[in-house]
Each structure stands twice: as C-alpha cells, then as structure tokens.
Amino acid sequence: MLVPNISLPLLGIACTFGKGYDITKPLRPKGPLGVALDYSLATSWPEPRDAKDSSVARNWVWTSHLQFKNPVSAITDRQLWQIARDALDEVHVDMKLYKIGRKHRPSAMSVLAWGNEIILASSQRGRSSFSYGYRGTPVLETLELCQITWREDGPGGGETDKEHRNEGKCGELMAAHLYYSQDATVTLAQRNARIGTVVEQSDGLKNTDPCGQPENVSKNRRPPPKVEFTERDLTYRKDNLGCNLFVKREGLMVLDEELAPEPYDLSTLAGGVVVSNQIQLCAVIRRF
C-alpha cells in the first residue's frame, strides 16, 4: 500500500476527495512493469469525454503487457504473485502522476501468464461495465454462457437471471479482454494460461481466488477439454455468480492463494523483457 506523503497536504486532500485530476495528455509509466492508465478508456468510452473536464463520470483501468525472451513457464507462481503486488503499487504511483483521487482507485490487480507473455490488469472503476457494455467480445460470450448455466442449473431454478456479481469489472475479466482483443482465435485454455489476483484490503494486500465461491475453484489443475459444471460448482447464493465460473469455462489455471510471494529480477526473469507496451481495452496498442 502506498503511504501518502505528509509533506504534500494539498495533494493528499485532492486524493481523498478525488477532485482536480489532470488527464489532458497520456503520461509514461514510471514503474519497471509499465503499468499505466488505460487512457483511451478514460477519455473515450462509452463515449468521448473532454480530457480537461475532471467533473465528468469516467471509467478507469490500469494495465500493462510484457513479452519475455523465454517462456513464462520459467516464472514461478510465487513470483507471479509478487508481480501482481508490484503492479498494484505501480497503479498508485501512476494515479499520483495524474492526481487521480482515491475514490477512483482499483482494489484488485490480476496477472495473466501464457507463452512468453504476461498481461497485468486492474479491476475496473466507474459507472459503466466494459464487460457488458462493449458488445461482441469473447469475454461477454463466456459471461452469458455462465449466466445461462447458473440460471438453469443453479439456485434460480430457471427463473432467476443474474449477471456477474461485480458487474464484470474484476481484474480477471479485464485481463481476458486484453488477451482476446489481440488474438480471438486461440482460447486461453489452449494457452495453458495461469491467472492470479491480489486485492487491497484494510490490512494490506491479499492473494485471492476468483470471486463467487472461492472454495470451489481448482488450483493449478487443468479442467477437462469439455468443461462441465458440477452440482458443487453451482451451489451459490443468489448474488454469487462470479469469476469462478468464468475462469473454469475459460480453462484458466488459478494460482494458489496460500503461496507466499517470491522476489524476482525483471532483467533476468524468463530471459528478460523484450517488449513492454500496453494493450488498451478499446484494442489500441500504446508503445513506450
């Protein structure tokens, strides 16, 4: 967690109340992981917003994309947990650059690893749900399939229709959006992709399972080629359709939340970073 600088009381007040931010131009990220504000989302979705107007409603996500020389299978699950934590710290730094207030700060950061690549994506803040509002995406298709399964086989008895408990704003979904915006022909299950999410709580950062019914999520086990939900998978409260169904249907391997984070050296990790950029949710590549 980033501790406010008490030598800057005015900045502290601005951060507390979320006023006076300046996003008139995109800024370069300061951290080694390259985590940066998704500028196109903040200024252009669901409709264009005047970047000079700090009073309008916006949607906020912070992301990064890293490509390594060698396969990321060389990166341990523990190191992925540490990367996610460091990425959330970089969000806080980037917010200070723009003077973006705490009320817009995402509480979660997800790390998605496959092949030679890693995507880092925060949870979404803002009124509009990108997952449900940006139509025609593979992520929305999966969410709708999960919704049908939950409605027909879950506690609703075929009568209750329920969307994702967090409006589809979780980091896991943002990371999947970014992946599919670049390659919708190969599923994440085919990539043997790993995913983990850290959440900022009052007592610090915590490794977490996907939302929904965490104890029902298999850890680091590859689901069968044909994903079928069991009765146990569908034992939810009526408000609990979450990312657990999404990650299972996508065939993602979930990092074990009990694993302690492990240090890493980014300069040598998986042979070192060869590409550092940002895939923005509206399918725009931002290069640094």
The mean pLDDT values, 10 residues at a time, for the chain of 288 residues are 40 48 95 97 91 92 98 98 98 97 95 98 90 81 70 57 70 93 88 95 91 53 49 47 80 93 98 97 74
Quote the radius of gyration of the chain (alpha carbons, Å). 19
pTM of the full predicted structure? 0.82
DSSP 282: T
The residue type at 152: E
| Pair of tokens at residue 151 | 């409605």
Q: How far apart are the C-alpha atoms of 265 and 186, rounded to whole Å? A: 30
In this structure, are residues 104 and 14 in contact, taking their beta carbons and an 8 Å threshold? Answer: no
201 backbone dihedrals φ, ψ, rounded to 5°: -120, 175
Residue 50: partners with Cβ closer than 8 Å, 6 or more residues away: 56
What is the length of the chain?
288
From the list 120, 117, 123, 143, the residue with the least C-alpha distance to 244 is 143
Q: What is the pLDDT of residue 189?
A: 86
Q: Give the H/E segment covering residue 112.
A: strand 108-114
